[in-house]
Structure 1
Amino acid sequence: MYQEHFGLQAAPFSLTPNTGLYYGLPPHEEAMQVLRIALAGGEGFIKVTGEVGTGKTLLLRKMMAELAASHQVIYLPNPYLAADELRMALAHELGLTPEHGDLAVTDAIHRRLVELHRDGRPAVLLLDEAQALPDASLEAIRLFGNLETESSKLLQVVLFGQPELDGRLRSDDLRQLRQRITFSYRLRPLLRDETRAYLEYRLSASGYRGVPVFSAAAVRRLWRASRGIPRLINILAHKSLMLAYGQGERRVGTALVNAAIKDTEDASTTIPLHWWLMWAVLAGISLWLLRGAL
């Protein structure tokens, strides 16, 4: 639609997570570094949380691609599984067809994990939307995380979830799992300069050449309305470019962004100051912890 108008070879702001357009923004790179350190150290459970639209699935896919050559990566796209369904799904992802029954399935998985460990391909389970897993399924995952040799875990687990996952893990019923999560990271929204860099990178990676499409005022308006959430940034940027194309404009100003905001239900016109201060503090703490781990 507007791609030819702006000289683009691809859609820059698609909502589908695309690792080809991954840009190493500070919160995402910090999360990736935490994951690399934890997995290299053989930690059993790692957790990454963040609000809807902050890029958890993109990170998961980036990690899948990075681990593919050295690990047996297991990805379960449907998190809402009962405990026995989860065991069978894990078995199938490992290429197994065990007889039904908790003991038979668990035993088959255990043997396969031992084989993978012996072959030098440690297994990593990546779970998206982990906050949707029933308690019994989270407990089943914890028990699989207990499988180990004398020196290392046979299955490492990375939980990606919304902040509700943190709330659930504070429950006494899940305290054993909570205590086994040795590394965690909470994704924050993007800051204004990060939003500007994100917009410019996405356009450049999609083929745009020229002066910045979004004016400084437009970036500021878009950032505030999106609350720094990448998914909302994508939606507002996409709509703004559509409107610019419709009006024959080569640059996007605040008027076009305002029109895009009015057409987007979750876009906000005001952001309480304390909200951004909270995220700034969290970002500082996360960076301090990361530096300590390094």
Structure 2
Amino acid sequence: MYESFYGLTANPFQLKPDPAFFYGSKGHKRAMAYLDYGISRGEGFIVITGEVGAGKTTLMRNLFHKLDANRIRATQIVNTALDADDILRTVAAAFGLPHENASKTTLLGRLELFLRQCDQQGRRALLVVDEAQNLPPRAVEELRMLSNFQTDDSCLMQIYLLGQPEFRRTLLSPDMEQLRQRVIATYHLGPLDYFETCAYIEHRLRTAGWQDDPRITDDAFAAIHEYTGGVPRKINTLCDRLFLMGYLEELHVFDEPELQTVIGEVQREFGMHAE
């Protein structure tokens, strides 16, 4: 609604991850470097953790956007509330393999055949598992077993695990020793600091054609950072509401009072109270 009012070409604060809006904060650049490092190594596990809304999925979308499909056959699974018997079926389905009513032995055979065919074509398989904190230990172990598929000189499947901080507890448990030995890099993605929050907002706005209308004051930026804690998804949600109010009220300057009005509305809607 507010895009045309402010002369924007797109919604700058959409929640859907879009590589076009990727902002490389210090943390996101470092995490991206680990993902790229994993691709160059072509083996093992990469583990990326972060709070809800920190930008883990956006990182992966950015990675997928850069991958050479002639070299990497990549896929992602996000429904990880699965038991060990379901995880192989889900992986097979993600790669487009027949999986209905198949036994574990059959699924493993189909996956191995698929991976060897990829290798013969000069391609490597990359499996990205999102929301890994929901996986029970036995399901994680099944994923580890998939990394055993290899030729004499190369690994046939590489796995990236993305999860909330509690996934680290799973990773550090005594029965995960074999998996830990195969993790070649791990990184925790933290929130944006104040200056990154300002730059993140301006980056998304300028990507959508922003010409400094509306103007956002320093006090408004400070209020955004304080309320959201520098979490990108929270920033997007709050700024989207701010711009909607600006459109409805025909505002061209956002200052702290406007932010406090929007924050108050959001808190009332969710039964929260300002501290």
Same fold (TM over 0.5): yes
CA contact (8 A) 1:226 1:268 kept: no
Q: Deviations over 1:35-85 (max 9, x none)?
A: 101221123100000000101111121222222522111211311222222
Q: Indicate the SS of the match to 1:100.
A: coil
Query: Distance between the aligned counterparts of 2:98 and 2:15, measured in 1?
Result: 35
Instruction: Write the distance in 2 (CA, Å) between the matches of 1:175 and 1:257.
Output: 48
Question: Which has the higher mean CA deviation after the structures are superposed, 242-251 or 232-241?
Answer: 242-251
Paired letter, 1:78: N
- Structure 2 partner of 1:32: 32
Q: Which residue of 2 aligns with 1:114?
A: 116
Corresponding position of 2:43: 43
Q: How many corresponding residue pairs? A: 270
Contact 1:116-1:123 within 8 A present in 2 as well: yes
Query: Are 1:50 and 1:162, in contact at CA under 8 Å, matched by a contact in 2?
Result: yes
> Corresponding residue for 1:77?
78
Deviations 1:173-230 (A, max 9, x none): 2222223212011111111111111111111111211366211111011111110000
Q: Distance in 2 between matches of 1:235 and 1:44?
A: 36
- Cα distance between partner residues in 1 of 2:207 and 2:274: 29
Deviation at 1:102, TM superposition (A): 1.5
Which 10-residue stretch deviates more, 24-33 or 186-195?
24-33
Secondary structure at 2:187 match in 1: strand
Alpha-carbon distance between aligned partners in 1 of 2:97 and 2:213, rounded to the nearest angstrom: 55
CA contact (8 A) 1:13 1:202 kept: yes
What does 1:137-152 align with in structure 2 at a 5 Å threshold?
137-152=139-154
Say which is worse superposed, 133-142 or 100-109, in terms of deviation: 100-109
Structure 1, unpaired ranges of 5+: 271-294
Q: Which residue in the other structure is 2:94 paired with?
A: 93
Aligned counterpart in structure 2 of residue 179 of structure 1, from 176, 181, 198? 181
Is 2:249 aligned against 1:247?
yes
Q: Residues 167 and 249 from structure 1, CA distance in 2 versus in 1: closer, same or farther, beyond 3 angstroms?
A: same
Q: Any conservation in 2 of the 1:224–1:268 contact (CA below 8 Å)?
A: no
Question: Which of 158, 161, 166 pairs up with 1:159?
Answer: 161
> Which portions of structure 1, spanning 4 or more consecutive aligned residues, are displaced by more than 4 angstroms?
265-270
Deviations 1:97-140 (A, max 9, x none): 26722222112211211121121110000011011112211110
Alignment partners' CA distance in 2, 1:203 and 1:105 = 46
**Counterpart Cα distance in 2 of 1:60 and 1:172:** 29
* Cα distance change on mapping 1:184 and 1:3 into 2, 3 Å: same
Contact 1:125–1:157 (Cα < 8 Å) also in 2: yes
SS at match of 2:160: strand
Q: Percent identity?
A: 34
Q: Secondary structure at the match of 1:240?
A: helix
Contact 2:213–2:252 under 8 Å retained in 1: no
Contact residue 264 and residue 274 of structure 2 kept, 8 A: no
Are the equivalent residues in 2 in contact too, given 1:60–1:128 (CA < 8 A)?
no
Query: Could you tell me the TM-score, scaled by structure 2's length?
Result: 0.91
Q: Could you say which residue in structure 2 is the equivalent of 1:168?
A: 170
Unaligned runs of 5+ in 2: none
Native 8 Å contact 1:200 1:212 kept in 2: no
Aligned to 1:133: 135
Query: Contact 2:126–2:158 (CA<8 Å) still a contact in 1?
Result: yes
* Whole-Å separation in 2 of the counterparts to 1:264 and 1:108: 50
* 1:200 matches 2:191: no
Give the 3 Å change call, closer, same or farther, for CA 182–219 of structure 1 in structure 2: same
Shift, 1:269, TM fit: 6.8
Q: Tell me whether 9-18 or 203-212 shows the greater mean CA deviation.
A: 203-212
TM-score normalised according to structure 1 size: 0.86
1:258 aligns with 2:263: no
Contact 1:49-1:161 within 8 A present in 2 as well: yes
Distance 1:175 1:268 in 2: 45
Q: Indicate the RMSD between aligned Cα atoms, in angstroms.
A: 2.0
